[in-house]
Amino acid sequence: MIKTDLKKILSISGEPGLFRFVAQANAGVVAESLSTGKRNLYGMSARLTTLSEISIYTSDEEVSLIVVFEKMKEVLGDDMAPQPKSAPEVLKFFFEKTLPNYDKERFYVSHMKKVVDWYNQLKSYATLDFEKSEEIEGESASE
């Protein structure tokens, strides 16, 4: 199975779900919905964020999303993450187990909802086996 490269997985502001980067175009970016497979052109004004650029605040550092997803996978095994619509207590409890030192002042329930939603989408439509850059491998090896 092909590994998931978080540099090619996009969150697009105002669009539900995750997208796979397909190509650069003159007018913007062509991206494909992970869930539907539909391709769209997103113009230069679209706010695109690759999941590889996202980190979560903890008490001592920022932890990259790939590391958070791997910790979630360790805790969950083959199970799905809690649903994004779960009660805030359920999400907080889950992240206390997964990332015990998450920054309770800066990592909000709204962020938790996105992270569990993204995890479940990757689990359903891609793979939780991630392609790693050298820098991330060094980071997780030093933990």
Same domain assignment for residues 46 and 59 = no
Cα-only R_g, the chain: 15
> Structural domain of residue 71, as residue ranges?
55-130
Residue 140 lies in a domain: no
Tokens of 19: 């997208």
pLDDT tens-digit profile of 20-46? 999 999 999 999 999 999 999 999 999
- Look up the pTM and report it: 0.89
Same domain assignment for residues 30 and 72 = no
Tokens of 1: 């199975």
Q: Give the H/E segment covering residue 133.
A: none
- Judged against a pLDDT cut of 80, whether residue 118 lies above it is answered with yes
Q: Give the H/E segment covering residue 60.
A: none
Residue 41 lies in a domain: yes
pLDDT tens-digit profile of 49-89? 999 999 999 999 999 999 999 999 999 999 999 999 999 99
Name residue 4's beta-bridge partners.
Answer: 130
CATH number at residue 75: 1.10.10.1650
Residue 112 lies in a domain: yes
